[in-house]
Structure 1
């Protein structure tokens, strides 16, 4: 695998072109969406990383007396070039300048987080590491080995996970309460969308995938054979064979039992590789195979619709949960242990999930047995939604650590359904809110940068 798709990429790290801002914000209501965690391994093979000469170590900038070194800038530049080939259009001098500015912003924000006492414990880091491994379809052991091959020690990788999760929580606290979306704004947003003014809003799509996995140790001959196998399966699908049966029999993906369907959701919430591969594919058409870091994907476009149109359809999940809040009375480890006991009781049939939720959950859903209703994609914060989407109806999750506390999640059912008028309005409100959050985050990041004392030293060198 040439590139590990981690939460560092999709949750927080901005592109080089927007180095002056801060991207990837979360919000403090579990009924709304925040930054995306990496959904699936879709990074196409990357070109070789340019060889960057390592020059002598020295301080390039001070942020409130905290140093940033030339080595830090070099290391980030190398990773950006590896993960974002389009960054090669910048001159080396401009790239180093933009990377330095990004590091200054992050350092200033981390200092604010420290002042506010925001902390991310080791359990949350463990969970984040497991999520990265799962999204890359590798074990945690393999993930650690691949991280080392990319030049990061395990300590560095976990430190970066901690920093990015810390920044998410900081941005939650600093930005969330400032965003207010009025009914008038929602009405105008829907009118613009239906008239085509908001033509850039992506459609809702549902894609099913058949994955022919390519082991990292595969030789060129092995890869060629696997590609040929994927092409043969694509031909069988195009010839009219039942795609669901092909997936269930031949796919190497964990979702094969469900026929490989990912679910009806905004194209923005799909891996870019899958969206691009099916962009010109008609509904029920077959695309691929396309290559990703995980292997070869054969794709079927199951459905496509425009959000807030009369026929808008999404995959909804009926879900309930038990939430134990982060507080001084109980540690995260104690909350996990308690929820593990609840899960065991539910699985043994000695306790009912709804009763446990009613008696123990520390949020407003407790009175309803933890029921959060039928949820549309994007309604929950990413860490909650990612865990929910991995569950089949009737399954109960392991304890999930989120920015709010620790959850036990149970999926009751799933359905593809048209959104009601009220649901369409809430979906529109969420899209508008995300847009406003991105704008507010940019402004907030600039304010944090302006308040920091930054002393520029010798320019970074590559």
Structure 2
């Protein structure tokens, strides 16, 4: 299960993303950049909360209170449910699972902290309207590549009450807004700090200046796969790697075999700094040059085969970057406009444009739901990392003047066209803004950890009976 991720704008710079990613990242480092199979329904952790049944050997244990947080209880079944999910997630990621006696104490403390944060959010005066909740539900459906009606059916099949599911999504969003508000003022970056950061970069810290463009093929492993199924899928991944090593075009292999959204761009994930890739990917390709292959690598999503497309090393001052000038038409999903209908509409736009029957800019001005509509969908020159990955991965795979098939992102459905691409040196102002973003993101991460401790420290907690597993 994963936490939802809901962001308010189409694209955000790294510093703006920091608070969001702290609270709404998918499990454990986005499970290798969000590369999780869509065959099993993925829900926010909250959806398996106290109201979701925990099935044992056939009969549910009698429930009881294990702790009280500012007069609100945490039950034994809440702890058991969270314990089961945590163990499953750790196993999927290949992580060592601590003894249950040790893990259950950590889980209880996490539940206490989460409840204290939700209580503070509810008393803060912040509100989450119905439109935001509906958008979050649509996001969950999009991530699972199903419609909202199909989502409701599958929730029912899993014995998860839809009303409770909706309520807990609202709670997730409420706490996220509180965290944004509380942490914003704690991440101020001074000009002196930027100066020092740039001096450090010029000194040549390799971990901060390495940039990679990796392509990947994902052989997905279902969450509840048996050992025999896992072994068979590993053999399949090895066969794909062998074909790549024998000279088969990697992009063609990705289109044919990959379960990742990056297959639409030949598997390429785009040029980005190494810290924006999973550690698993960086470690596996650290000694490879461009063209090198690695894998199969096991993650919670499945088996990955990687190819190094590009590797760059250098400090930030004077850094050359690839920039793309693109435009797009965005159709946001609503109860009146389904994902399938949006894809069909944009596919029709693409045919008309390519046939010379319509102008991209005119269609964008008339139809796009993005702020760029008044500019004919023009997004200007953008460096790597400015757009959300599902958009950027497809954009990076386009040649100038090429139009992609409709692309689904967390914000809706896009029709993307690349106009130009260039290599350019960052100006001094751009270098400083990039440095500001990196430093601000780091400060927000540190501030978040302190904030969580503060909320927990102010909460009145009464421990009752020990959890029974």
Aligned-pair CA distance for 1:117:
1.1
Match of 2:390 in 1: 386
Distance 1:282 1:316, change over 3 A: same
Does the alignment pair 1:82 with 2:91?
Answer: no
Total equivalences in the alignment = 417
Distance 1:257 1:460, change over 3 A: closer
Does the alignment pair 1:265 with 2:276?
Answer: no
Any conservation in 2 of the 1:81–1:88 contact (CA below 8 Å)? yes
1:199-278 maps to which residues of 2 (within 5 A)? Answer: 201=208, 203-212=210-219, 227-248=234-255, 251=258, 253-278=260-285
Match of 1:328 in 2: none
1:20-419 maps to which residues of 2 (within 5 A)? Answer: 30-33=11-14, 34=17, 35=21, 36=25, 38=30, 39-41=33-35, 56-84=62-90, 86=95, 88-89=97-98, 92-114=100-122, 115-119=125-129, 121-134=132-145, 153=160, 155=162, 161-196=169-204, 201=208, 203-212=210-219, 227-248=234-255, 251=258, 253-292=260-299, 295-306=302-313, 308-309=315-316, 316-320=323-327, 346-347=349-350, 354-355=361-362, 368-380=375-387, 384-387=388-391, 389-390=393-394, 394-395=403-404, 409-413=414-418, 415=421, 417=423, 419=425
Match of 2:42 in 1: none
Q: Tell me the distance in 2 between the aligned counterparts of 1:41 and 1:420.
A: 31
Which whole-Å deviations, capped at 9, do the CAs of 1:220-245 have from their partners, x for residues lacking one? 77766654454344334334454334
Q: Tell me the distance in 1 between the aligned counterparts of 2:261 and 2:368.
A: 31
1:419-438 maps to which residues of 2 (within 5 A)? Answer: 419-421=425-427, 422-438=429-445
Q: Tell me the distance in 1 between the aligned counterparts of 2:222 and 2:467.
A: 39
Any conservation in 2 of the 1:357–1:369 contact (CA below 8 Å)? yes
TM-score normalised according to structure 1 size: 0.70
Q: Tell me the distance in 1 between the aligned counterparts of 2:405 and 2:184.
A: 30
Q: Tell me the distance in 2 between the aligned counterparts of 1:224 and 1:97.
A: 34
Match of 1:18 in 2: none
**Which segment drifts farther, 445-454 or 276-285?**
445-454
**Structure 1, unaligned stretches of length 5 or more?**
12-24, 44-50, 326-330
Any conservation in 2 of the 1:208–1:260 contact (CA below 8 Å)? yes
Distance 1:64 1:200, change over 3 A: farther
Q: Tell me the distance in 1 between the aligned counterparts of 2:212 and 2:63.
A: 49
Q: Tell me the distance in 1 between the aligned counterparts of 2:438 and 2:103.
A: 32
Q: Tell me the distance in 2 between the aligned counterparts of 1:284 and 1:305.
A: 13
Which whole-Å deviations, capped at 9, do the CAs of 1:396-444 have from their partners, x for residues lacking one? 8679776xxxx77443327474551344433322211111111222233
Which whole-Å deviations, capped at 9, do the CAs of 1:326-372 have from their partners, x for residues lacking one? xxxxx9657999x9699589555687564576689898756644533
Distance 1:308 1:356, change over 3 A: farther
Q: Tell me the distance in 1 between the aligned counterparts of 2:330 and 2:259.
A: 34
Any conservation in 1 of the 2:265–2:393 contact (CA below 8 Å)? no
Which whole-Å deviations, capped at 9, do the CAs of 1:188-247 have from their partners, x for residues lacking one? 112223425x66547321111234556789887776665445434433433445433444
Aligned-pair CA distance for 1:73:
1.6
Q: Tell me the distance in 1 between the aligned counterparts of 2:176 and 2:62.
A: 33
Which whole-Å deviations, capped at 9, do the CAs of 1:106-152 have from their partners, x for residues lacking one? 22222333331134644323332234325xxx999999999899x87
TM-score normalised according to structure 2 size: 0.69
Any conservation in 2 of the 1:27–1:172 contact (CA below 8 Å)? no
Any conservation in 2 of the 1:28–1:173 contact (CA below 8 Å)? no
Does the alignment pair 1:460 with 2:467?
Answer: yes
Q: Tell me the distance in 1 between the aligned counterparts of 2:150 and 2:285.
A: 30
From 429, 442, 445, the equivalent of 2:452 is: 445
Q: Tell me the distance in 1 between the aligned counterparts of 2:87 and 2:133.
A: 30
Q: Tell me the distance in 2 between the aligned counterparts of 1:147 and 1:279.
A: 42
Aligned-pair CA distance for 1:294:
5.4
SS at match of 2:97: helix
SS at match of 2:109: helix
SS at match of 1:205: strand
**Which segment drifts farther, 30-39 or 296-305?**
30-39
Any conservation in 2 of the 1:316–1:416 contact (CA below 8 Å)? yes
RMSD over equivalenced CA pairs, Å: 4.8
Which whole-Å deviations, capped at 9, do the CAs of 1:262-288 have from their partners, x for residues lacking one? 211133333444334323333321112
